[in-house]
Amino acid sequence: MKSILIINGPNLNLLGKREPTIYGNRSFVDYLKTIEAMFPEVQLRYFQSNHEGELIDKIHELGFEVDGIVINAGAYTHTSIAIADALSAVTAPAVEVHISNVHARESFRHHSYLSAKCKGVVVGLGLMGYEMAVRYLMMYEK
């Protein structure tokens, strides 16, 4: 059974409450049930933290073991060379996801330190982006 780690960064614990016109009305914990039902053949592991070091620790802990990492690092996307280095350090292929279309927003959201370390990026498709990333990683052969 393939195992895929979904990582959400800061403020994504507030999905459903946070700026719903941008991020929607659904909590991630609720969405996780849907995505788990959608992919019964995959072991989905989920981790959310508001702390950069904890995100890095989780990438180190599971990044040599899982078959893929789906990462939405929130605002750390635009600032964190350390998370980018962690993705480079581990063996699991990663896909970067953003719920909103960051390219249609403020210019500081246009650059990602993570994209170059990922197989691909899904941007602006709402929560569906996570499904697409999981589907890709299920098919991906190292």
Ligand X SMILES: O=C1C[C@@](O)(C(=O)O)C[C@@H](O)[C@@H]1O
| Interface contacts to ligand X, rule CB under 6 A | 11, 72, 74-75, 77, 98-100, 102, 109
Catalytic residue among 76, 98, 113, 130: 98
* CB 1 to ligand X: min, Å: 28
Q: Is 23 a catalytic residue?
A: yes
Per DSSP, helices labelled H in the chain are: 20-23, 28-38, 52-62, 81-89, 128-139
98 is catalytic: yes
- Cα angle value 46/52/57 (rounded, 5°): 60
* Shortest reach from residue 38's CB to ligand X, in Å: 20
Nearest residue to 5 via CA among 94, 50, 69 = 69
**Does the annotation list 78 as a binding residue?**
yes
Cβ proximity to ligand X: between 43 and 115 the closer is 115
- Rounding to the nearest 10 degrees, give the CA dihedral for residues 130, 131, 136, 142: 60
Binding residues for substrate: 72, 78, 85, 99-100, 109
Active site residues: 23, 98
